[in-house]
Chains A and B, each alone.
With several copies, the nearest count.
Chain A
Amino acid sequence: MIPSQSFPASQGRVVIDALVTTIDDHAAMLSEIDGAIGDGDHGINMRKGFLMARDELPGQVDLSTGLTTLGDALLTRIGGAMGPLYGSFFVEMGGACAGLERIDGTTVGRMLAAGRAVVEDLGEARVGDKTLLDTLVPTAEAYQASLAEGASFSAALSVMAEAAERGKESTRELVARVGRASRLGERSRGVLDAGATSCWLLLTALAASMNELLAAEG
């Protein structure tokens, strides 16, 4: 049994920066994916909200405050469906690690579960509808399963990244049933869903930044 891995909650800024950076770097790609079967603004909307959120953060911030601030900024600034969904997602993730000194694998499991629940509750979509839930739900479940099977925090984070990628790719074969892309019915098959793609980017950045923080712990 390996000793339980963790990183200090005070390093929140590293995680938030990774989230903002991946959205900023991939905004054009996200809009292009959205353009194929949606209205082509997913990257624009997300970048606007994430950059504004970063501007509101102090240089040093604990993970809970950082995620809550990010979530609040998205709720306040970007509107649409993404504002409340990703906004509530990050607010709930932040809430699930509030008050903790150190973040370990179990905590991240609780965070993902809380985030997933609010997105399902608010958005009323299901796995298979070709939305970000097709990334989020299987990823949260795979992460939890790997912990349950005894994987280390860092191993579970790698599982998270792989599951997110598979979840994102799964949307390629789906027909959109909610959101703008449902306009196209069968014609929405064959391309990725934009929200599922941004969710993959975010979860991948989350996993990578946390693994980085774990590595720094030595």
Chain B
Amino acid sequence: MQRIIDDPALVVEDMLQGFVRAHPDLVAATDDPRVLRAVGAPVAGKVGIVTGGGSGHKPAFIGYLGRNMVDAVAVGEIFTSPSAAAFLNAFRAADAGAGVACLYGNYAGDNMNVKLARRSAEKEGIRVETVIANDDVPSAPRDEREKRRGVAGEVLMWKVGGARAALGGTLDEVIAAAQKAIDSTRSIGVGLTPCTIPAVGKPNFSIEPGMMEVGIGHHGEPGVSVEPLKPARDIARLMLEVILPDLPFERGDEVAILVSGLGATPVMELYILFDHLATIATEAGLSIYRPYVGNYFTSLEMMGATVTVMRLDDELKACLDLEADSVGLRQLPA
């Protein structure tokens, strides 16, 4: 295990300490060591945006704390949901009286911990509404969408929710925008190598050299097929063949496309993949309003990439266009 760490059991603690120290302009610690908040949060009158999830997905989740983005994040162990207590403390850190939109991904642990935290928060008079991202198409069939996992589409959900809140939306408006964002979004991942959780010390699943796992999840959850590794052009095509018909995206749709590396895939390759995606999407009659290419939601040192497509309307475009300042997503004023 070729890692730059100290005690493998304490990587999350150690990382958090460095993160807060590196970004004092953007993030601050709270009384709960497993909760970070954005500098300036809670913002008076603004709906609080909260998310949370397991660690190992940099820049997700804490990298999206910031201006016009997320207000507080509950931090879990590597690939493990944060505790209910952490979610509760994140709600407290983000709430300025206007309520909290908890925008998170559909994983069993997160669902349970959010459920418990939300019960406690409401006893304290903090109103919490949730949007549960389920953009990962291969994780369940179309008629069981509620079972699908949340993946890199969460980044666009946070951008939209964060912007809608910053633009003065009420809790219901923020929730409606974030729900629309994720309902308009479809994703798929392709894995080329596994990754190793430091405390475990060996890969958490395996992919043979020369093979790829189509539809893999962010923690190595099973894909729809394991097949021989193909050229980027073919990978792009098979990814879009899964996600475009699912919404379905239709001729004339304006879309955002987000290509994220899973960690160790050189960013060069994400651009190669994006080029094919853009060509195929354009051929399918989609117009790309906003592309995002980079490491937006990773899985430690896994190799591979996820592709996310979101259908836009005027509200979603306005939300994506708003300036934002966070480690993972910075957009200057237009």
Within the assembled complex, what's the spacing in Å between the Cα atoms of A123 and B116?
12
Using A31-B200, A39-B204, A183-B221 as known contacts, say yes or no to A80 and B80 having CB atoms under 8 A apart: yes
Given known contacts A44-B200, A45-B77, A122-B112, what 5 new A-B pairs fall within 8 Å (CB)?
Answer: A39-B205, A48-B77, A78-B80, A83-B81, A123-B112
Nearest-neighbour CB distance to chain A for B251, whole angstroms, equals 36
Contact code string B75-112 (vs A, CB < 8 Å = 1, else 0): 01111111111100000000000000000000011001
Q: Are B115 and A79 in contact (CB under 8 A)?
A: no
8 contacts between A and B (CB under 8 A): A39-B220, A40-B202, A79-B83, A79-B84, A81-B108, A81-B112, A179-B108, A180-B219
Known interface pairs A39-B204, A185-B222; A79-B108 also in contact (CB < 8 Å)? no
In the bound complex, residues from chain B placing their C-beta under 8 Å from that of A35 are 200, 202
Q: How far is the CA of A183 from the CA of B202 in the complex (A)?
A: 18
Quick one: given A35-B202, A185-B222, are A78 and B83 in contact (CB under 8 Å)? yes
Q: Confirm or deny: B287 has a beta carbon within 8 angstroms of a beta carbon on chain A.
A: no
Task: Please name the 5 residue pairs, one residue from A and one from B, whose CB atoms are nearest each other, closest first.
Answer: A183-B222, A76-B85, A84-B112, A79-B83, A80-B80
B76 contacts A79, C-beta separation under 8 Å? yes
Per a CB cutoff under 8 Å, which of B79, B116, B200, B220 touches A84? B116
Give Cα A154–Cα B149 distance, bound, in whole angstroms: 46
Most chain B beta-carbon neighbours within 10 Å: one of A75, A80, A183: A80
Task: Judge whether A182 is part of the interface by a CB distance below 8 angstroms.
Answer: yes
CA gap between A185 and B221 in the complex, in Å: 11
Taking a contact as CB atoms closer than 8 A, the residue among B76, B204, B221 that contacts A40 in the complex is: B204
On chain A, the residues within 8 Å of B115 by CB distance are 84, 122
* Residues in A whose Cβ lies below 8 Å from that of B112: 81, 84-85, 122-123
Chain A residue with minimal CB distance to B205?
A183
Across the interface, which residues of A come within 8 angstroms of B222, CB to CB? Answer: 182-185
Q: Could you say which residues of chain A place their CB within 8 Å of the CB of B86?
A: 79
Tell me if B284 counts as interface (CB < 8 A to partner A). Answer: no
Task: For the complex, give the distance between the alpha carbons of A45 and B78 in Å.
Answer: 10
**Are B200 and A40 touching (Cβ within 8 A)?**
yes
For the complex formed, measure the closest distance between the CB of A81 and the CB atoms of chain B, giving whole angstroms.
4
Over the window 13-31 of chain B, the binary record of Cβ atoms lying under 8 Å from chain A Cβ atoms (1 yes, 0 no) is 0000000000000000000
Set A31, A44, A80: member contacting B76, Cβ < 8 A = A80
Contact between chains at A41 and B80 (CB < 8 Å): yes
Inter-subunit contact B109/A79 (CB<8 Å): yes
Question: Could you tell me which residues of chain A, from 55 to 105, have a CB within 8 Å of some CB in chain B?
Answer: 75-85, 87-88
B259 at the interface (CB under 8 A from A): no
The yes or no answer to B199 lying at the interface (CB within 8 A) is: yes
A183 to B79, CA, bound (A): 15
Verify if B9 is at the interface (C-beta below 8 Å from A): yes
Chain A contacts for B200, CB-based, 8 A: 31, 35, 39-41, 44
Cα distance A6–B80 in the bound complex, in angstroms: 40
Docked CA distance A35–B220 (Å): 13
B50 sits at the interface (CB 8 A): no
A40 lies within 8 A of B197 (CB): yes
From residue B130, how far is it (CB to closest CB) to chain A in Å? 15
User: What interface size band does chain A fall in?
Assistant: 20 to 34
Chain B contacts for A80, CB-based, 8 A? 54, 76-77, 80-81, 109
Instruction: Across the interface, name the chain B residue whose C-beta is closest to A125.
Output: B108
Is there a chain A Cβ closer than 8 Å to B170's Cβ?
no
Interface residues of B in 178-231 (CB under 8 A from A): 197, 199-200, 202, 204-205, 219-222
Q: What is the chain A residue whose CB lies nearest that of B108?
A: A81
Q: Which of A75, A85, A123 contacts B85 (CB 8 A)?
A: A75
Interface centre among A35, A79, A185 (most CB of B within 10 A): A79
Cα separation A122 to B117 with both chains bound (whole Å)? 13
A215 within 8 A of B: no
Q: Which residues from chain B contact A185 at a C-beta distance below 8 Å?
A: 222
Chain A residues, Cβ within 8 Å of B81: 79-81, 83
Residues of A near B199 (CB, < 8 A) are 41, 44
Closest residue of B by beta carbon distance from A122: B112
Inter-subunit contact A183/B220 (CB<8 Å): yes
- Cβ of A84: which chain B residues have Cβ within 8 Å of it? 83-84, 109, 112-113, 115-116
Determine the chain B residues whose CB is within 8 A of the CB of A44 once the complex forms.
Answer: 9, 199-200
Contact for B113 among A45, A83, A179, A183, CB less than 8 A: A83
Within 8 A of B (CB), among A5-52: 31, 35, 39-41, 44-45, 48
Closest to B120 in A: A75
In the complex, A81→B200 CA distance in Å? Answer: 18
Min C-beta distance of B328 to chain A, whole Å: 22
State A79–B222 Cα separation when bound (angstroms): 22
Q: Is A145 an interface residue (CB 8 A)?
A: no
